Structure 1
């Protein structure tokens, strides 16, 4: 046992990367359905490519790196006995083999969590067959690896040009390789292994200088994991081996050095800013006036328009949950924009423009904020009549489950179905290793949203060429409703690191003067629209007092990146303000126009994961300013297992998720319990806010029986639904089917509890006033 422990300590770098690969593939929610994308002939070729990448960039480098560390460690005597010799021989081989086993376990995980769909023959079965085929390819790769390890010629030397290069590099390997014995025949053979490891790292580093966005296209999703883990391995192995020779913690020292340089130069986690002319916030009174005008019921603009004829303003609260949340939110909004769906419920006469004009605002959190920005930008890019969606028409869109884009729902789903996972993961593994130079992983994620929007909405690229602004590149405050073209007002929920309350990215002013009593605070002054919340754009204008000795910290960042004219952010950055979940995205440094740190913004789910507290305040303000308006709040949840109360304002027989229990294991509960509690609090606070929303609105508007309606995803037995910045086409299909309108099918009865709620929403959209309770 001591021999094995000693060898494992020597091999701590390859052991760590192998363990990290197991954790990512077998336990990370983001990897649950990575292997469900291999379906057609082209995907079969990608299966082979994946096995090649797995073998060349992860398995073999793991084995070679482990062998190099064992052979170069002076603490392992050559005659240390059979146990030590056996461990030194077999552990490197086992580590390389475990990379294949980890992938097989991940494939099994994908197979066990295939969502339940009623298209068994045409959709589910091909995926099951593809997963089995993929498992076979990986097994063949493992066999090839073992054959090479056991039966390769021990005196293998490269020939030709490669052999000459390797021979001439002997002096170089002698100079830099820890523990290399000059003139040894064994060492000359091992030089070839050193050459392979150096070539792997050179290719890895060279490719990354092209940019994480491009690399994500070459090594998407499943291929990114072996590429990253094996790519860094040669460099870290070298530092580990050299550190043992000179008795210095080089890896730790390098990490400390990078941290010190980041302090001096400033890290790359600053929220990126742009200059904008539209920086005057919108008063909510003016927004309500414009909304009423666009709905043809504003007495100030039309003498014949009674205020009581106004439709119900709709506020959407979109919960967090990465791409699953964004896709769910976009799919539901698209469902209502395609008004032919209303015919099933006997609601007629509504147009897409009618539905768009009824959407007063969207309160988004995390992935729901990303979906809100995509939806609102698409509505802004469409014609004022909203009769035609702006996306690519009648063509297939990569990563989306559908065949071609035909309507609004197709368009909005296609926008939110892109691969936003790979670029962010690559940014985490490479860009953030040098946090004072390249874009950080948050900026890479943000840019992947912008690229997706530009690919799916061609008009965005045209506008970028002619106006200097296109799609999600536009300044946030420029995306606002205009006379003749109403779009919903965005309120994107973030959380402050400094004081823990909400930071809201919104074009709305933070206070107003109600005609009566302020519904949110006891005050003699302006009524706060949002209680105990900061405006992100006001933080950009906050002045920071001089801090003497701390003035020099980040001073190079101020010189390089400071821009006093940068008073706004891009639309994509605004979405990111709400979607900075731990580890996935770093906290965003909010800096004023002098580039001094004001606060850090983190994921809105830290405070409350549904955005319903913000929706409640908006609804109360609308009703206070215009009492004839009776807002309807639609809460869009995307987690089948959350504890959101099944009771809302629609009578039905909902599925009640069972209350989960604490994890039975007691390993490291002192560490795991606080982390798990903080993670679950984000949803618990959201559930409580939904209940407070319903209670508060019914107390204020007692004449309405429908004020809050929930839309959510039904549970799928014991299967969990993947949550990641990439959702597989199977998960997209299941979310899309949450509006299945045929109650006579078993699938609709068992996997859709939204039917009565959808009917109620259509009826409330058509009505000019809410019905009495």
Structure 2
């Protein structure tokens, strides 16, 4: 540094002044600024690994995907050792995440002029201090930061696998948990072993290019691709022509970026089949890094915020031209006339149960309320309903063998949960005909749709599944309805959805959005099951989820329950209900919902979905379920078009309004009784949130006693969001209480139990039942996403098994069996 002006008489103008030595604090702060500059230059690859860290460290659903890899290659309860699946995941992290973020970071530090100028100034300052060569600390930052970013993905997966260990549920089949624990530990160590291997690769990478043959190849690539590199702005700097990121590295990064563009237009379903679950994570977090890093580099070169500009331009483009989140519709043959009036639906149900004209002799109509919770809710809804559909299998005693070889025996009549009198009443009856309707929310709606589709596809009483169990389900073979329905809802729907979120919905254009991809994954999975070799269902039945919702004819000889699928209106905050029932009926007395008797709404202050679209349009059964299952991030709000360019409303998850489906179930029961007073509906609530059970335990005189944490981080932000999240469950519990109160007031004089709730019970960190004891500070979370690990499936399956503690559904199961065997006249007659 030269000073041009000096005081008169002090020294010649060309003699440099010695700078005043800086203090230690000033030097330290300067180094902090140097490090911050390096991090800012590599912010895109750094953000990639930070987002991955946040997800794997804090999201149960992300942690559980490591279980799929850990348990691959061996039956449930057996250890596979360091399997091919584990090694393949290490390789995927190496190639699809670690290498791209490392190469992108190297490219950024090598081509950034601002950072190069800073390095030159530091080197010059080191020379003036008499230190030969470079400023070692600045050189270390530039060299080591990309390497450290490159090894972080291995640490991130190790953290996720370690967290998955603590998430493992307590199972009666203990060897299954022990084997999963063992395999997860191996996965942790395999990922940690990848750290020094990748670091060694980074160190040796430059030396490998000095091998004569490789060096010649690299120089040739540099000559051939020089115009391309120059045009894209990724050529070496003129003052550093050799660089550290050789032509081969630049070419690898360019090829990876082009492959990501190909992913945008390729089939996510094809890709998901080849990179499922944990294997998809490296691509999701590493895929965009080369393109975004390149745009970040160009932006710094020209001092233009390109990434911010693209985000703003994208938001404006969506505002002006619309998004790709339209609710999928199909042209159908007069769909409005294919819905069933409530009066006709009740009479068809009575015909199915052999009591037409004698309603008092009819069994109690069962209305199921299936709570929300993604695949957890779908699986549990299917599992619970399947348990009762398997009545004939529940009659005899049976035994089964656990993974450790121990034999477990169950006594007759569902382990004694129904009596000989109940058996006498149910023998020769088809349990499916007892189900009048299912009111679903979110994942519960998906479970309801699968149940309805499977019942539609059945041949006689046989479930539409082959005997051989699919690989993604924990069971060994399919023996009945419960096994069939569980296997149908246990598939991987998460990978395709996340590819849609990570790629398709970031460049919308003509591409299908992630909601449509989720629906297609449901349709394909059901078709694989119901259309598999050995499955009783025919080819047409296997397509039920992809057919128009209102296309299936109503046949009392082949009974299928009605569906009431609850979404939420963005415009009004009311329910948007997608149902195969006509939304109004002629009330026999005063309209229960308060409307006019001639056109009495079944559901109060609710919007009928089909009234929002053209009269010639319907939706697929899968789309009807998605109308209820659009929870944040995973699925976008669905735009409902009344005409081609007129968005009349947007629909989001039904859980925003009420997460249990109990309010719609109650209103349907009230309308049903108004149509036929001799019937006595029974409501079965299937909930699946363990935390909600603990909340109910704190209820006194109908009021939940709050117990807030003493400390809250950012309460101004956490408070409103926490309230929004809590309201969905709070309104659900309120709806259940209202339903129980109305049913008891109507039928309680003769039938003491009119509503039953089957739950997923909580367990504390030690695996104990916390109900009836001091509420633990933390309970184990049951993963909720569009995929379930096998231990989680087993945990949900075991919720209906008898246990010695208070956390069991024994009483609830007994009461459901009793309701299935009870005639309506037992509840509607005069009080004895």
The two structures have a TM-score, normalised by structure 2, of 0.83
Q: How does 1:628-647 map to 2 (within 5 A)?
A: 628-643=678-693
Q: In the alignment, does 2:87 pair up with 1:48?
A: yes
Contact 1:739–1:752 at 8 Å: present in 2 too?
A: no
Instruction: Output one character per residue of 1:465-505: Cα deviation in whole Å (capped at 9) or x when no partner.
Output: 97698221110012353232211000000000111100000
Partner of 1:59: 98
- Alpha-carbon distance, 1:575 to partner: 0.5
How do 1:303-382 residues align onto structure 2 when only pairs under 5 Å count? 306-339=358-391, 340-341=393-394, 343=413, 344=416, 345-346=418-419, 347-349=422-424, 350=426, 354-382=430-458
Q: Does the aligned pair in 2 maintain the 1:515–1:625 contact within 8 Å?
A: yes
Q: Which residue of 2 aligns with 1:561?
A: none
Which residue number corresponds to residue 253 of structure 2?
Answer: 197
Judged with a 3 Å threshold, the aligned counterparts in structure 2 of structure 1 residues 137 and 659 are, in CA distance, closer, same or farther, namely farther
Partner Cα distance (2:311, 2:320) in 1: 15
Counterpart of 1:141 in structure 2 is 194
- Pairing 1:113–2:189 present: no
Aligned length: 729
> For residues 764 and 462 of structure 1, what CA distance do their matches in structure 2 show?
32
Give, in whole Å, the separation in 2 of the partners of 1:751 and 1:163.
Answer: 72
Q: Deviations over 1:615-674 (max 9, x none)?
A: 000111111111111100000000111157759xxxxx99x9997754555443322322
The corresponding residue for 1:555 is none
Tell me, yes or no, if structure 1 residue 35 matches structure 2 residue 66. yes
Q: Secondary structure at the match of 1:61?
A: helix
Aligned pair in 2 of structure 1 residues 381, 460: CA closer, same or farther (>3 Å)? Answer: farther
Aligned residue among 335, 340, 346 for 1:282: 340
* Partner residue, 2:77: none
Q: Which of these residues, 78, 87, 96, is aligned with residue 119 of structure 2? A: 78
Does the Cα contact within 8 Å between 1:461 and 1:470 map onto a contact in 2?
no
SS in 2 for 1:236: helix
Report the counterpart of residue 551 of structure 1 in structure 2: none
What residue is the counterpart of 1:170 in the other structure?
226
Kept after mapping to 2: 8 A contact 1:590/1:599:
yes
Map of 1:418-429 to 2, 5 A cutoff?
418-429=491-502
SS at match of 1:491: strand
Equivalence for 1:596: 646
Distance 1:229 1:694 in 2: 47
Query: Partner of 1:22 in structure 2?
Result: 53
Structure-1 residue corresponding to 2:184: 131
Match of 1:487 among 552, 560, 572: 560
RMSD: 2.8
Query: Contact 1:460–1:470 at 8 Å: present in 2 too?
Result: no
Q: Comparing 357-366 with 139-148, which one deviates more in the overlay?
A: 139-148
Further displaced range: 584-593 or 90-99: 90-99
Larger of the two Rg values belongs to structure: 2
- Structure 1 counterpart SS, 2:104: helix
Q: Shift in Å at residue 402 of structure 1?
A: 0.7
2:754 matches 1:707:
yes
SS of 1:279 mapped into structure 2: helix
Q: In the TM superposition, what are the counterparts of 1:662-677 in structure 2 within 5 Å?
A: 662=708, 666-677=712-723
- Partner residue of 2:763 out of 687, 697, 716: 716
Q: How much has 1:733 moved relative to structure 2?
A: 0.6
Give the distance between the partners of 2:56 and 2:580, measured in 1 at CA: 41
CA contact (8 A) 2:567 2:653 kept: yes
Q: CA deviation at 1:683?
A: 1.0
Q: Distance in 1 between matches of 2:360 and 2:680?
A: 10
Establish whether residue 69 from structure 1 lines up as the match of residue 108 from structure 2: yes
Measure the CA separation in 2 of the matches of 1:467 and 1:422.
27
2 CA distance for matches of 1:147 and 1:136?
17
2:110–2:237 contact (8 Å) kept in structure 1: no
Gaps of 5+ in 2: 1-31, 75-79, 123-134, 396-412, 765-778
- Cα 1:41/1:503, change in 2 over 3 Å: closer
Q: Deviations over 1:58-87 (max 9, x none)?
A: 112212211221222222222324443332
CA contact (8 A) 1:14 1:65 kept: yes
Task: Please name the residue that 1:552 is paired with.
Answer: none
Q: Which residue of 2 aligns with 1:496?
A: 569
Aligned pair in 2 of structure 1 residues 269, 198: CA closer, same or farther (>3 Å)? same
CA deviations on 1:267-290 (whole Å, 9 max, x unpaired) are 210001112224322110110011
CA distance in structure 2 between the aligned counterparts of 1:274 and 1:183, rounded to whole angstroms: 61
User: 2-side partners of 1:702 and 1:516: how far apart?
Assistant: 22
> 1:403 and 1:55, CA in 2 relative to 1: closer, same or farther beyond 3 A?
same
CA contact (8 A) 2:329 2:618 kept: yes
Q: Cα offset for 1:456? A: 0.7
SS in 2 for 1:75: helix
Offset of residue 180 of structure 1: 3.1
C-alpha distance in structure 1 between counterparts of 2:435 and 2:707, whole Å: 39
After TM superposition, the structure 1 stretch with the greater mean CA deviation from structure 2, 684-693 or 86-95, is 86-95
- Where do residues 278-677 of structure 1 align in structure 2 (5 Å cutoff)? 278-280=335-337, 281-299=339-357, 306-339=358-391, 340-341=393-394, 343=413, 344=416, 345-346=418-419, 347-349=422-424, 350=426, 354-383=430-459, 385=460, 387-392=461-466, 394-458=467-531, 470-479=543-552, 481-521=554-594, 523=596, 525-541=598-614, 567-643=617-693, 661-662=707-708, 666-677=712-723
